[in-house]
Amino acid sequence: MDKFPSQRFSVAPMLDWTDRHCRYFHRQLTGSTLLYTEMVTTGAIIHGKGDYLAYSEEEHPIALQLGGSDPAALAQCARLAEQRGYDEINLNVGCPSDRVQNGRFGACLMAEAALVADCIKAMRDVVSIPVTVKTRIGIDEQDSYAFLCDFVQTVSTRGDCDTFIIHARKAWLSGLSPKENREIPPLDYDRVYQLKRDFPHLTMAINGGVKSLAEAKAHLQHMDGVMMGREAYQNPGLLAQVDPELFDPAAPAVDPVVVVRAMYPYIERELAKGTWLGHITRHMLGLFQGIPGARQWRRYLSENAHKPGADVRVLEAALQRVADNIPQEA
């Protein structure tokens, strides 16, 4: 099993956030964290004009999160993803947005456990890499513990699914926006802990509201893994401590200034392809959170990265705003 990515710590799939530039940046901060794509629909992969499976080799270990409910289409996409080298396929059964429901995927699928099982089984039958599920603890009025157990039991037995990532909130399918669904339904970590105790043979990671590595360690007393979302994105500097804190005490913590400069070759390659600097640096704004000069770093990047001709010199100038933290050249 060592060839498969560890669920011990991962960064959540986040629409419009965890694109390939974000993942490349996060990988400079942590070598062991499992990184997820944004959710990609089966229709986009099969019928879309762009390459929705593009990523850089440096991003491994990387999981593709799929949105869909047609077992045949999901199997086709899973096979393509494995051929492209992805380390895991994840089915989205947690997103509550209206456009997702209209496509009959996301959190509304919690009400159709047998269909989710069929989807997982169809993908498991055609790939050798792990196929996992990310779900909520319930939807609307279907939020009893028995409902959650029935869902996991059905998907794990009929679908041959052995790994679940559980967002410890239920989802309201109408009346709340996706943003509100990430904040208003209360977190229920104890319910997720109980689920792990009742299904000890399954691998389970917990997601929702995790804001520090200390909290992650506390969850790992009960769970196999922790998935961090918004905090990892808005305060990416904490990812520099993940490898020594959660994976290998001998692993070096990463200097954020070194990370910025490690991005330069990638940025130059992307600029040569026509990518705007700001499309990459928007993911880096929170890197120096809590460090003197962080606000000036953010402001300088925000004001200059979208200008025509902006290149790595903008980053170097922004680094001068946190100059006291830059290693002195010998």
Catalytic-labelled residue, pool 77, 95, 108, 119? 95
Taking the CA atoms of 137, 141, 142 and 144 in sequence, report the sign of the dihedral they define: positive
3-state secondary structure of 234: helix
**Contact in structure between 116 and 91 (CB atoms under 8 Å):** yes
Are 46 and 76 in contact by the 8 Å Cβ rule? The answer is: yes
CA 84 to chain centre: 19
| Nearest C-alpha neighbor of 171 from the set 86, 109, 264, 254 | 109
Q: Which residues contact 64 (CB under 8 A, 6 or more apart)?
A: 36, 37, 40, 53, 81, 86, 88, 89, 90
89 alpha carbon, distance to own chain's centre: 12
Distance (Å, rounded) from C-alpha 131 to C-alpha 120? 7
| CA angle, 68 then 184 then 7, to 5° | 50
Across-strand partners of 92?
A: 134
Active-site residue flag, 95: yes
Q: Distance between CA 48 and CA 41 in Å, rounded?
A: 10
Other C-beta atoms lying within 10 Å of the C-beta of residue 314: 21
Q: Which residues are catalytic?
A: 95
